[in-house]
Chains A and B, each alone.
Chain A
Amino acid sequence: MYYKFSGFTQRLTGAASSTASPQGLRSNIPSESPTIVFGTPTKVVSQSSPAVEYMGVNKVPDLQRIFQASDEVPIHLKRVVPDRLLYRTTMALTVGGALYCLVALYIAAQPKNK
């Protein structure tokens, strides 16, 4: 039983239907990913004639498994090596840039010597 916010009455109302529960937040998620709508295209590939898929193979189910691993890692670091590198570079530029900016503005604020 979950609460649903009624935009009309501006109140929480009961909603017994499961459509209100977001995926990924149920505690009974199995370790393998269930058949999610997002994973497979509507036309099953085995039904279409070409032996090789058009422009690459579907890697979404594998990625879903990786990103749904319950390891408490936030989304922006879930892929460890590339994510951490990019995050650290960005943070370094952020902190360094902010300090450089303050210094530049301090210098710019000095009166010109005649």
Chain B
Amino acid sequence: MAHQAHAYHMVDPSPWPLTGAVGALLMTSGLAIWFHFHSTTLLTLGLILLLLTMYQWWRDIIREGTFQGHHTPPVQKGLRYGMILFITSEVFFFLGFFWAFYHSSLAPTPELGGCWPPTGITPLDPFEVPLLNTAVLLASGVTVTWAHHSIMEGERKQAIQSLALTIILGLYFTALQAMEYYEAPFTIADGVYGSTFFVATGFHGLHVIIGSSFLAVCLLRQIQYHFTSEHHFGFEAAAWYWHFVDVVWLFLYVSIYWWGS
């Protein structure tokens, strides 16, 4: 077998980029077909394909790293760069929605009554459920750090318990937020206030669900002995993502919930 003259991991040929791309095609055109012809077949097919692609692609990465040992220090460095760059791109994504919020709220138009919150909008009390949500996410930040230290110190039981607690807190946040959405006195259709509120908090909620899922996969892997005290990058990536989600919430809470009321 020929040796390569570099430290990078050249992966086996894989069909998942193709299936993922077709999945994206099916989801986007499926959306258009749903809007115009009321059929959700194409959209559903795209979603199934996306889920299958994600499952198999990430399963293969776990096989390459944990079972075949390809994630050497230089390779892991590349993975770290990748995760950091991805999270940075997500920061810019949210920056856009915060821009939209501040654009509309710093100089409210006469159509809104020249004030923020606009006339007729009763905002949510920031010191009720939103404050509880803040406490829940901050606590989950503590438990995920506890989980990390447990993994590094080889404390299997504590790692599993603290990681499970982190996920439970994430689900608790999602449940509370869903209840808030249901009970809110305003909707997404209520002018620019409704739009900025629900789009920004809605995308954040989606990221909480994604982060909780990522942590859940890490919990399964921790139970199955995939992580060692020196090498557990999958968990670190999940923890970075979770901290990012937490920080976005803090900005949302201070800007939209607190200052915006």
Mark A residues whose CB is within 8 Å of B. 2-5, 12, 19-27, 36-38, 40-43, 54-56, 58-60, 63-64, 66-68, 74-76, 78, 86-87, 89-91, 93-94, 97-98, 100-101, 104-105, 108
A42 surroundings in chain B (CB, below 8 A): 153-154, 228-230
Asked if A90 and B228 make an inter-chain contact with CB atoms under 8 angstroms apart, the answer reads no
Please give me the residue from chain A that is nearest to B57 by CB atom.
A76
Asked if A90 and B64 make an inter-chain contact with CB atoms under 8 angstroms apart, the answer reads no
Asked if B74 and A20 make an inter-chain contact with CB atoms under 8 angstroms apart, the answer reads yes
A27 to B14, CA, bound (A): 23
- The number of residue pairs between A and B whose CB atoms lie closer than 8 Å in the complex comes to 155
Also in contact, A91 and B15, with CB within 8 A (given A37-B231, A67-B67):
yes
Chain B min CB distance to A57 (Å): 9
Q: Is the interface of B mostly helix, strand, loop or mixed?
A: helix
Asked if A105 and B48 make an inter-chain contact with CB atoms under 8 angstroms apart, the answer reads no
Asked if B69 and A38 make an inter-chain contact with CB atoms under 8 angstroms apart, the answer reads yes
Also in contact, A59 and B225, with CB within 8 A (given A67-B63, A93-B48):
yes
Mark B residues whose CB is within 8 Å of A. 1, 3-7, 9, 11-16, 18-19, 22-23, 25-26, 29-30, 32-33, 36-37, 41-42, 45-46, 48-49, 52-53, 56, 60, 63-70, 72-75, 153-154, 156-157, 160, 223-226, 228-231
B41 surroundings in chain A (CB, below 8 A): 100
Asked if A24 and B230 make an inter-chain contact with CB atoms under 8 angstroms apart, the answer reads no
Asked if A68 and B67 make an inter-chain contact with CB atoms under 8 angstroms apart, the answer reads yes
B15 surroundings in chain A (CB, below 8 A): 76, 87, 90-91
A23 to B64, CA, bound (A): 10
